[in-house]
Amino acid sequence: MADSGGMSDGAPNQATTADASPENGRNSEALAELAEIRSQFTRFMMTYQFGLAEIVTKINILKDEFTHIHQYSPIEHVSSRLKTPASILQKAARRGIPLKIDAIRENILDIAGVRISCSFISDTYRIAEMLGGQADVTVLETKDYIANPKPNGYKSLHLLVEIPVFLSDRVQPACVELQIRTIAMDFWAALEHKIYYKYEREIPEALLRELTEAAEAASRLDIKMERLHDEIDRIKSAPTTAEEVPGFPLPRDLLEMLRHFRTS
């Protein structure tokens, strides 16, 4: 037992020596660096996720207000998407953008996107004006492909907006791309997108011509439907009783009470 104890005291501690080796030190530093990168990229992605949520909330507020107060909503449908980390890094690599948070933030501006479908062409501009006019929304860029369609017939109103995201320790601006278009424009764009990728971006000339003709037909439909809508608005009589007014369901006695307070 004594010899065993003496041998233990005199022998070098191999585990301690191994733990203190330069290789292990480098591994620890690498792991710490990876953990920091992961934390930064998570914060980066969450900023766009929160910015997207703020914009969608603003749009839904407008939609509900128009539905219940104005009895008509120019917003038919809202969808949103957030690029995956993999797709962001792949796009950065394709464009030769340094794989740094600041470089990606400055050069890739479509990480967060919202698509708004409207009934009529005038509604697209109306929604763009209302969103762009809000105090905490900054419009960085506008591309009007409705007034100036792409050669293939694509139409849409694109806005690049910036919105502040209030985090626990900072306020971080986030860019969100808005695509605002009519239902007809959206239908055409969805079909064109599927064909575009089916033919691996090399659409046959004959099919491309047909797509362009379809875009022109959709545009004529938009114009005709808006004209009909305006005509109906002109001849439609206003509601005359409280029961005919759509909105939140309110008991008749409560409506009468509100009317009394308003006239008293």
- Report the distance separating Cα 114 and Cα 160, nearest Å: 10
| Residue boundaries of the structural domains of the chain | 31-183
pLDDT for 2 equals 45
- Its pTM stands at 0.75
Catalytic residue among 36, 177, 200, 216: 177
Q: Edge-to-edge strand order for the sheet containing 112-118? A: 75-82, 112-118, 171-182, 157-166, 138-144
Give the CATH number of domain 31-183.
Answer: 3.30.460.10
- Report the distance separating Cα 157 and Cα 177, nearest Å: 10
Whole-Å CA distances, 16 to 21, 23, 247? 9, 13, 75
The tokens describing 98, both together, are 């340094």
Query: What does each of the 264 residues of the chain score in pLDDT, given as a tens digit?
Result: 444 444 445 455 555 545 556 666 667 776 776 777 788 889 999 999 999 999 999 999 999 999 888 778 899 999 999 999 999 999 999 999 998 999 999 999 999 999 999 999 999 999 999 999 999 999 999 999 999 999 889 999 999 999 999 999 899 999 999 999 999 999 999 888 888 777 777 778 888 888 888 999 999 999 999 998 888 878 875 555 544 555 566 677 777 777 777 766
Catalytic site includes residue 33:
no
- Each residue's pLDDT tens digit, 11-33: 555 555 455 566 666 677 767 76
- Each residue's pLDDT tens digit, 94-146: 999 998 999 999 999 999 999 999 999 999 999 999 999 999 999 999 999 99
- Report the distance separating Cα 153 and Cα 185, nearest Å: 10
Computed on alpha carbons and rounded to an integer, the radius of gyration of the chain in Å comes to 29
- Contacts of 242-247 with CB under 8 Å at 24 or more apart are 245/71, 246/68, 246/71, 247/68, 247/69, 247/71
Judged by DSSP in three states, 137 sits in coil
All residues at 6 or more sequence positions from 245 whose CB lies less than 8 Å from its CB, including other chains: 71, 239
